[in-house]
Amino acid sequence: MKKSKRILAAVLAAVVSLGVLTSCGKEKVKPISEDGLELTMFMHFMNYTVYNDDWPIFKKAAELTGVTLKGTASETVSDSSQAFNTMLASTTLPDIIHGGFTNLNEIGKDGALIPLEDLIDEYAPHIKAMFEKYPQLRKRATADDGHIYYIPGSLSGMDAEALPSLGWFIRQDWLDKLGLEQPKTIDELEKVWTAFRNDDPNGNGIKDEVPFFSRVGGLGSLFHLFGTNESGYMLDEKTGKIVYAPITPEFKTAIKKIAEWYKDGLIDEEVFTRGGQCREQLLGGNLGGSTHDWFSSTASYSARYADSVPGINFIPMAPPADVNGKVVEWDSRTPVHGYGWGISKDNKYPEETMKYFDFWYTEEGSDLISFGVEGIHYNVVDGKKVFTDKVLNAEEGVPTYMRGQGQVETGVIRKFDAEYQGMTKEAQKGWDMYNDNGWCKKQTEFDVLNDEEVAINGKYNSNINTFANEQRQKWIMGADDVDATWDKYVETIKSMHVDEMIKINQAAYDRLNK
């Protein structure tokens, strides 16, 4: 535990020192354009985050750099993929295009984005310095043709690896009322859920409790209890080989038990349709018993509903030990997140745009995206940046509030100490518990696919995943019996060329990790 605390201290020190490492000293930010320059930008991701011209963080960046961004994506479009494709079909592309690294590399190789490596060398000393200090950052930004088409970013600083992000939460007040302990095994978890379902912990005389719910509509945390993922390609730690999770024996074991839990009413019957507001609906309605979600936002709900749900105490708990008796959290963060921004072929100011990108890699740019605007989002107290009460007491929680101020995932390096400061005391306690005990496993990362692999992926992957996802939902909801249909299911997926998909993912894994 002492070692883990030293790791946290080292991470905090490293992210605090980011600016010193990359800013070539604390020189004052010089305006990129004295007369002011407006650049158009496409940003629409996660199906709900759209660039807002009024975000205070970006308005402050405009004040410092002389560069103002004008968003082009429409908030009336709810599907980010649709918005991205519509943007690409435009006669003239926006100056800056934001997106996931796979999409940005693909459109870069197709000519929609320009290569950035020469611009970085000449106009972006801070980005160049970070690429030199952290070769994996440059590697993640480099397409298989050798060019860099986008600038990547980080949520926690480049020294962070396998830091906690999500964890288990439970209604401690319900446990106390029923005389139960926090579950430490899968069997104990099932017993607790059964008690939540049958023994009326909310006291309204109605069997309406929802023992487990999931905000994102998936049940990945439950599959992790059985040593597998609910979808996609993963590393089999026993063999060191990549496998397609949904056809493994571990997946079959998991899906059978999860289907049983769903049938018994232990999992939210609307888990696939309730949507992103399930925490508000189920905790605000005094119905939800447990979930698996982000520490920074989920730990705020006890305070949010203290008046309407007297006694609510929704707190982090340790992951229940998996089928192998191991306490492990699969959802940790990697140093580099999956989003960034690039310069389009129609941008008439590529040099100025690269200088603008470079601003965000300076100490002042990193502080701005991490803490917001001084006097609005934070004040300096005893030499340290401290969030204002308005931020810390935001009803929706600090992460959601700051996202609405412009703290979004793009080609910027955020400092973890800002996120940690913005957590409630309960969230910090949960984060520390997961970090100090070393429960978080390192994520399996894959290199970008080359052109041949992209072609194979485009030919097979969507059909494979669609079929697997639909069958998974049928099993969970009881439309099909697992044992009766499993062999045919595996046979069908194999006939859909999953072995070729495993092969290209193995190659992408080997390139990045060997």
Please give the CATH number for the structural domain made up of 2-161+335-436: 3.40.190.10
Q: In this model, does residue 442 exceed pLDDT 50? A: yes
What is the predicted pLDDT for the residue at 26? 52
Q: How far is CA 109 from CA 316, 445, 451, in A?
A: 44, 22, 9
Domain ranges of the chain: 2-161+335-436
Provide the pLDDT for residue 179: 98
- For the chain, percent of residues with pLDDT exceeding 90: 79
pLDDT on residue 62: 97
Q: 402-405 — which CB contacts under 8 Å span 24+ positions?
A: 402/372, 402/377, 403/49, 404/55, 405/55, 405/56, 405/57, 405/372, 405/377
The pLDDT of residue 245 is above 90? yes
Rounded CA separation 506/91 (Å): 38
Cite the beta strand spans of 374-475 per DSSP E. 378-381, 384-387
Contacts with 317 (C-beta within 8 Å, 6 or more apart), sequence order? 167, 168, 169, 170, 182, 183
Structure tokens at 73: 């994506």
pTM (predicted TM-score): 0.82
Within 8 A by CB and 6+ apart from 404, the residues are 55
Query: Which residues neighbour 175 within 8 Å (Cβ) at sequence distance 6 or greater?
Result: 181, 182, 192
- pLDDT above 70: residue 169: yes
With beta carbons less than 8 A apart as the criterion, state whether 295 and 431 touch: yes
Question: What CA–CA distance (Å, rounded) separates 124 from 288?
Answer: 49
Q: Which of 155-159, 178-182, 476-480 has the lowest mean pLDDT?
A: 155-159
Residue 243 CA to residue 228 CA, distance in Å, equals 10
Tokens at residue 94, please? 């926006």
CA distance 290 to 212: 5
Structure tokens at 132: 């030199």
Percent of the chain predicted with pLDDT > 70: 94
| 41, pLDDT greater than 80 | yes
Single out the residue of 112, 111, 132 nearest to residue 121, CA to CA: 132
In whole angstroms, give the CA distance from residue 394 to residue 348.
40
Question: Tens digits of per-residue pLDDT, 105-137?
Answer: 999 999 999 999 999 999 999 999 999 999 889
The H-assigned helical ranges of 264-361 are 278-284, 295-298, 301-304, 350-359
Residue 388 in tokens: 């204002």
What pLDDT is stored for residue 88 in this prediction? Answer: 97
CA–CA separation, 467 and 244 (whole Å): 13
Q: What is the pLDDT of residue 70?
A: 98
Query: 201-234, pLDDT tens digit by residue?
Result: 999 999 999 999 998 668 999 999 999 999 999 9
Weakest mean pLDDT among 3-7, 166-170, 266-270, 360-364: 3-7
pLDDT score of 217 = 64
Contact between 476 and 258 (Cβ < 8 Å): yes
pLDDT of 361 strictly over 50: yes
Is the Cβ–Cβ distance between 165 and 333 less than 8 Å?
A: yes
Q: Round to whole Å and give the CA distance between 288 and 282.
A: 5
